[in-house]
Amino acid sequence: MKIACVGTGMTCLLYLHFLANYAEAQQPSGPRAKSRKHQDVLVQRVSSKTSASVRNDEEASEDPAYEWSGVFDTPDRTYVWSAQRVDGEYADATMKLVVLSAPNATAEALEGLKPTGRRVFGQRCRPAQYRLIKAGETITPDEDACYMLEFDADAWQTLFKVSTASSPHTAFFTEHAPTEFESTDHYLKDIRGADVDPGAEASAEEHGEHGEAEAAPAATPWGTAIGAAIAINLVTLSGVVFLVPAVSALSRRYKNEFAAVVAAFA
């Protein structure tokens, strides 16, 4: 006689647990008892690995990510990075920024700097790691620094100095696309006020990276899926318990009572 549990997942698991405990109580200690203990150990190991996988998925989805990158020819010693209010407000109150020296201002150079940009963003663009930069302060290319630009809430425009004395070509990796902060002025200018355009630029999607931190696609929850699959299979196989001689005999002896219990899960 084989009866499958068709109730809700939690109810079926409780039902299975009850029957398994009863069957175990009817069996003498020995090889079967050791086998049961071995199965319990395996279940605990699977559960532990599943929980660890879920934690890793959650941590991966929280990693800082850049949205835009660009590389520029910067032969002068100083440039100006600008952020403006658009439609009365800044696109965000702050923006994370990584600045790196580049061998040249080409797409190949920008691609080559991607691993470093990703590493610095992941390691240094965290609350306890970044350097807070306010209006008028200076940014310098540094492969071990993440800058947090804080925009002046009382001004329509916030300016930052970019020191490139030792960097004839400079790459920027930013939390937001800099054009989101453009109203009337370009985001990067030289000291004469002329716009400075990138030799190459790319969005996060073109880089194959995450997008903006709050819009990054969540990591696939493999741990949760595996755990759910295990639970479903346990419930589906609950009828196997009725193959245990003691349970089978009990079901025949108390046929009406067992019928009522099984019907309760429908």
Residue-wise pLDDT for 10-63, tens only, equals: 445 445 454 555 555 555 555 554 555 555 544 455 445 444 444 444 443 345
* Sheet with 147-150, side-by-side order of all strands: 131-133, 147-150, 94-101, 169-174, 68-73, 200-203
- Read off the pLDDT of each residue in 77-91 and give the average, rounded to a whole number: 96
Strand partners, 68: 174, 203
List, in order, residues 6 or more apart from 258 with CB less than 8 Å away. Answer: 250, 251
Of the candidate ranges 80-89, 150-159, 210-219, 232-241, the one whose mean pLDDT is the lowest: 210-219
What pTM was computed for the model?
A: 0.56
Given this model, what pLDDT does residue 237 score? 60
Residue 210 has pLDDT above 60, yes or no: no
- Read off the pLDDT of each residue in 111-131 and give the average, rounded to a whole number: 94
| 3-state per-residue secondary structure call for 113-178 | HHHHHHHHHHHHCCCCCCEEECCCCEECCCCCCCEEEECCCCCCEEEEEEECCCCCEEEEEECCCH
CA distance 135 to 103: 29
Coil/strand/helix, residue 200: strand
CA distance 63 to 219: 11
- Record the tokens describing residue 104, joined without a space: 């040249």
pLDDT in tens, 169-208: 999 999 999 999 999 999 999 999 999 999 999 987 654 4
In this structure, what are the phi and psi dihedrals at residue 173, rounded to the nearest 5 degrees?
-120, 120
Amino acid at site 58: E
